[in-house]
């Protein structure tokens, strides 16, 4: 049998099993499979191994760059309106390159056919963060005497004080929240565990939720610290909706879970709580590249607060007192006053 005629669906399923059996997290396995599924749909009915080639992949990337929504008929793209970001499109290229490497290692292809494909350059944007005023307004939204208010306040405080990802917060278990000792044991990307310190205010919010209100939500015994209204596992989508709703109530509609993570990282550096290397460990990044972006944002914010970065202010300060503006008399022209 010519391997080039092997259905793409069969190969995608084989790649999914490979990822599952090599220790990748369930989220990573799903991430790869979702993107390969969308590529398979782009190729069309009867897609085979022969369609995994440089020309087709480049056509797919160009198609993604031209889209204003990933897939209007599928939940995978329902939240991507307004054009796909370069980093999001790069994820598809990374998936297809990993798939191509697997095909080569498994003997389906004679060489790594997509090795020459270069991911599109990511547009480097300044990280958006919340101002102190916006933070204050957001935190005032929650009524800590109400079960939902106490839960939501504790979750937002954990984002802002620990910089967790949405999935990490949802998957945080009660016995992993060592509140008396002041730290959380977090399971991050790649099934890597890390210890994250918590401050006193966050600790108080978590204790209030856990000891006073959590039992009101729990229907069956659940290991997770945060529960939904039905007493079951809170999902990242539901968590993000809680955060967005709070943002709208506070008059800060751009709030979302990852924005709170960005805000934590910038505040951590601006307030001189710790160094970039420690921040990398807390955030769970494998390299310092992302942390460098936070350092850049923190430096700019600090200079704005201190107002020491204006070169013309320094130059004119050396020139003595500012000259008084010369009074200009209105001119007369053909009997008319020129009014400035």
The domain segmentation of the chain, as residue ranges, is 3-105, 132-306
Would you state the pLDDT for residue 132? Answer: 87
CA distances for 170 relative to 14, 147, 226, 276, angstroms: 29, 17, 7, 26
Q: Is 258 a catalytic residue?
A: yes
Q: Is 178 a catalytic residue?
A: no
Q: Is 307 a catalytic residue?
A: no
DSSP state of 233: B
Would you state the pLDDT for residue 245? Answer: 96
What would be the CATH architecture of the domain defined by 132-306? Orthogonal Bundle (1.10)
- Which is catalytic among the residues 12, 35, 165, 210? 165
Per-residue pLDDT of the chain (340 residues; tens, 9 = 90+): 578 899 999 999 999 999 999 988 888 899 999 999 999 999 998 999 999 999 999 999 999 988 877 665 554 444 445 578 888 899 999 999 999 999 999 999 999 999 988 888 766 565 678 888 999 999 999 999 999 999 999 999 999 999 899 999 999 999 999 999 999 999 888 778 899 999 999 999 999 999 999 999 877 788 999 999 988 889 999 999 999 999 999 999 999 998 998 888 888 877 665 677 777 777 777 666 666 665 655 555 555 455 555 565 656 666 655 544 444 454 444 443 333 3
Segment holding 169, helix H or strand E: helix 166-170
Q: Is 233 a catalytic residue?
A: no
Would you state the pLDDT for residue 24? Answer: 84
Model confidence, pTM: 0.68
CA distances for 60 relative to 39, 122, 249, angstroms: 7, 17, 40
Closest CA to 261 of 336, 334, 188: 188
- Which is catalytic among the residues 16, 67, 189, 233? 189
What sign does the CA torsion over 223, 225, 230, 235 have?
Answer: negative
CB 189 within 8 A of CB 149: no
Beta strands in 41-179 (DSSP E): 177-178
- Which is catalytic among the residues 32, 60, 268, 294? 294
Q: Is 271 a catalytic residue?
A: no
Would you state the pLDDT for residue 284? Answer: 77
Q: Is 262 a catalytic residue?
A: no
């Amino acid at each position: 049998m010519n391997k080039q005629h092997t259905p793409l669906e069969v190969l995608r399923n084989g790649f999914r099993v490979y990822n599952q059996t090599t220790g990748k997290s369930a989220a990573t396995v799903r991430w790869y499979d979702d993107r390969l599924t969308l590529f398979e749909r782009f190729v069309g009915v009867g897609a085979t191994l022969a369609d995994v080639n440089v020309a087709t992949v480049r056509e797919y990337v160009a198609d993604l760059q031209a889209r204003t929504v990933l897939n209007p008929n599928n939940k995978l793209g329902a939240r991507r309106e307004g054009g796909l970001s370069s980093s999001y499109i790069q994820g598809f290229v990374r998936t297809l390159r990993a798939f191509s490497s697997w095909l080569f290692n498994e003997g389906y292809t004679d060489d790594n056919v997509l090795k020459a494909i270069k991911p599109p350059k990511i547009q480097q944007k300044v990280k958006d963060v919340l101002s102190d005023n916006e933070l204050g307004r957001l935190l005032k939204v929650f009524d800590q005497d109400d079960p939902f208010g106490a839960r939501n306040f504790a979750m937002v405080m954990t984002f802002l004080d620990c910089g967790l990802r949405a999935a990490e917060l949802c998957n945080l278990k009660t016995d992993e929240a060592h509140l008396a000792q002041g730290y959380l044991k977090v399971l991050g990307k790649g099934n890597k565990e890390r210890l994250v310190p918590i401050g006193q205010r966050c600790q108080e919010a978590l204790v209030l939720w856990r000891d006073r209100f959590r039992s009101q939500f729990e229907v069956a015994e659940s290991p997770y610290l945060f529960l939904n209204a039905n007493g079951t596992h809170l999902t990242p989508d539901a968590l993000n909706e809680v955060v967005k709703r709070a943002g709208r109530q506070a008059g800060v509609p751009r709030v979302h879970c990852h924005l709170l993570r960005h805000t934590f990282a910038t505040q951590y550096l601006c307030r001189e709580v710790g160094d970039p290397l420690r921040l990398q460990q807390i955030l769970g990044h494998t390299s310092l590249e992302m942390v460098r972006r936070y350092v850049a944002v923190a430096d700019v914010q600090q200079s704005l607060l201190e107002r020491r970065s204006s070169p013309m202010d320094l130059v004119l300060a050396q020139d003595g007192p500012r000259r008084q503006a010369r009074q200009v008399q209105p001119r007369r022209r053909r009997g008319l006053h020129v009014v400035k």
